[in-house]
Structure 1
Amino acid sequence: MIETLKIKLLEGMHAYNEWECALEIPIDYSLDELHQAILYAVDFDNDHMYEFCIGNSYYSRSAQRIACNEDKVTQETIDSIFPQAKGKKLYYMFDYGDSWLFQISKSRKKRFSEKSDIFYPRVVVESGIKPEQYPDWDE
């Protein structure tokens, strides 16, 4: 089954514009695979640490965090993480230096069966200006 997730950039070192997308992704994909799909969507290099966070806010002390070096990042799936986020929000932080913070939520679109002629995950809708991971400072 395919879930449609809304990925919204909240903060980032060079985030001057709002950006968000709708991402269709298999529900059995791990959080690590979701991390890779988000990087593909924003066209970032996979060269920094990251974590997922479930909480009322990303900065909440009581938030549950799943770091990139934990086994849980490959064990938790799209399907298993959202019941844990019920009543809370799911966040994705990439690159602790530049602090790219994204909020991930389920769209209102119902799950659907995977289509054999489509490669998933895929961005189906995008709005705003895509952030630049390493802008050219000389311009």
Structure 2
Amino acid sequence: MNDTETIRADLAGTPKPVCADLTPFRLVSADIARGIVRVEFGEQPAFRNHFGHVQGGFAVAMLDVVLSLAAYVKLRQWCPTVEIKSTFLAPAKLGTCIGEGSVLKAGKSLVFVEARLWGADSQLAVHATATAMVRPA
């Protein structure tokens, strides 16, 4: 089984929180050793803002999923986000969006991650960094 299949199996065997229904995604790829993930978010018409793009709060919610998943892939445990910073670079075109995330550094109590979100037009729309708490085993 490769890394992507391993993580897909983990996700299939893990109960999802109800909030996960708001940001359904498909895992495209995972690299366990490097803590890198790529996911695809399907079109969510409810995320549309007045300008026809993904509303910023929903874009950050999608990135929080990517950030959390990157930390999970590296550490094989769910780590709650304690801080997130997002930078909006362009409007995220509504439709299938792609998110990529990676672990920058994993310590004993904190993990530092970053992620990017591309809109349906393949334009980089949002960059985020986050800190998550590593829970004792």
| TM-score bin (small chain) | under 0.3
Which has the larger share of helix? 2
Between the two structures, name the one with larger relative contact order (CA 8 Å, sep ≥ 6).
Answer: 1
The TM-score with structure 2 as length reference comes to 0.23
